[in-house]
Amino acid sequence: MTKRIESLKVIDNKPLKKDFFIIELESSEKLPEMKPGQFVQARVDGSKETFLRRPLSLHDVDYTNNRFKILVQVVGKGTESLSRLKTKDSLNLIYPLGNSFSLPEKGARTLLVGGGCGIAPLLYLGRYLKSHSIIPDILLGFRNSDRVLECKDYEAVGNVFLTTEDGSAGEKGFVTNHSLLGKARYDKVYCCGPEMMMKAIAGWCKKNNTDCEVSLENLMGCGIGACLCCVVNTVKGNVCTCTDGPVFNTKELIW
């Protein structure tokens, strides 16, 4: 798959609740094939504080219009600067990068679990699964109702369940406390979010003998396999999250 460097046009930058926003980008060329779980490396603004690019997942892809979206949470100066992008600005990206979520077996009972900005790649994954006739359960965790994002898009691709830490929306607690995990049985779980959450879900999957893929958010220097800064320890030793990942089957990870 060919990677490219390109300045894309910002079509829209829509603020969501609190510090989340969705940027829609348009390429002047035909989009390359982009898979769920893949990411882009965004050149923020070239200031001395945001020297390196920032990795961001594909949130949704619209091949007909050569557009795609990224969903971003402000956590620091780079994401803050991205939040200020306006329609008609441009954003320089290297994309598409990384591997992707695998397609489960036909008819697999599938669960997607996301927390915080980790929900970003799950929409495109959900769409991909739906196009293969798999309707997943989608369990999203947020800190409180202030941060619960618009779920309509997710509802269009699966059955959405919510948790908040304070119980202000959906069930109270962490995603791992959700009653769904006590009742339903799954053949495949996909998870993206804070490392603690992914480890807890990986643990639950192991106990229940369920295959689990997680998407890691390691710090990255380059995103293309050149710096070896993004490694994760696996059964095969240290491998790059940006090229061998970001998606890993939890069986491969030494957690």
Ligand X SMILES: Cc1cc2nc3c(=O)[nH]c(=O)nc-3n(C[C@H](O)[C@H](O)[C@H](O)COP(=O)(O)OP(=O)(O)OC[C@H]3O[C@@H](n4cnc5c(N)ncnc54)[C@H](O)[C@@H]3O)c2cc1C
Ligand Y SMILES: Cc1cc2nc3c(=O)[nH]c(=O)nc-3n(C[C@H](O)[C@H](O)[C@H](O)COP(=O)(O)O)c2cc1C
Query: Which of 232, 245, 246, 248: binder of another protein (CB under 8 A)?
Result: 232
Residues 215-234, interacting with ligand Y (CB under 6 A): 221, 227, 229
Distance CA 235, CA 41 (A): 27
CA distances to 62, 70, 146 from 20, rounded to whole Å, are: 21, 11, 11
The answer to whether the beta carbons of residues 175 and 115 sit under 8 Å apart is yes
Contact stretch for ligand X (CB under 6 A) within 72-80, 133-141, 167-175, 232-240: 72-80
The answer to whether the beta carbons of residues 94 and 38 sit under 8 Å apart is no
Q: How far is the CB of 127 from ligand X (least distance, A)?
A: 15
For 223, residues 6+ apart whose C-beta sits below 8 A from its C-beta are 39, 41, 53, 55, 94, 97, 98, 230, 242
Distance CA 70, CA 81 (A): 14
Query: Which of 7, 90, 144, 233: binder of another protein (CB under 8 A)?
Result: 233
Q: How far is the CB of 95 from ligand X (least distance, A)?
A: 11
Instruction: Give the number of other CB atoms < 10 A from CB of residue 86.
Output: 8
Site string for another protein, 87-126 (x = CB under 8 A): -------x--------------------------------
* Residue 39 found at the interface with ligand X (CB under 6 A): yes
Q: How far is the CB of 229 from ligand Y (least distance, A)?
A: 6
Q: Toward ligand FES, which CB reaches closer, 134 or 242?
A: 242
Q: Toward ligand X, which CB reaches closer, 94 or 120?
A: 120
| Secondary-structure percent of the chain, ordered helix, strand, coil, rounded to 5 | 20, 35, 45
For 111, residues 6+ apart whose C-beta sits below 8 A from its C-beta are 136, 137, 138, 139, 180, 184, 186, 188, 189, 190
**Out of ligand X, another protein, ligand FES, none, which partner does residue 29 contact, by CB within 5 to 8 A per kind?**
none
Q: How far is the CB of 227 from ligand FES (least distance, A)?
A: 3
Contact stretch for ligand FES (CB under 6 A) within 84-92, 172-180, 219-227, 247-255: 219-227
Q: How many residues bind ligand Y (CB under 6 A)?
A: 3
Residue 192: what residue type? C
Q: How far is the CB of 245 from ligand FES (least distance, A)?
A: 9
Q: Which residues pair with 213 in a beta bridge?
A: 190, 249
Footprint of ligand Y (CB under 6 A): 221, 227, 229
Footprint of another protein (CB under 8 A): 2-5, 43, 48-53, 94, 218-222, 224-233, 237-238
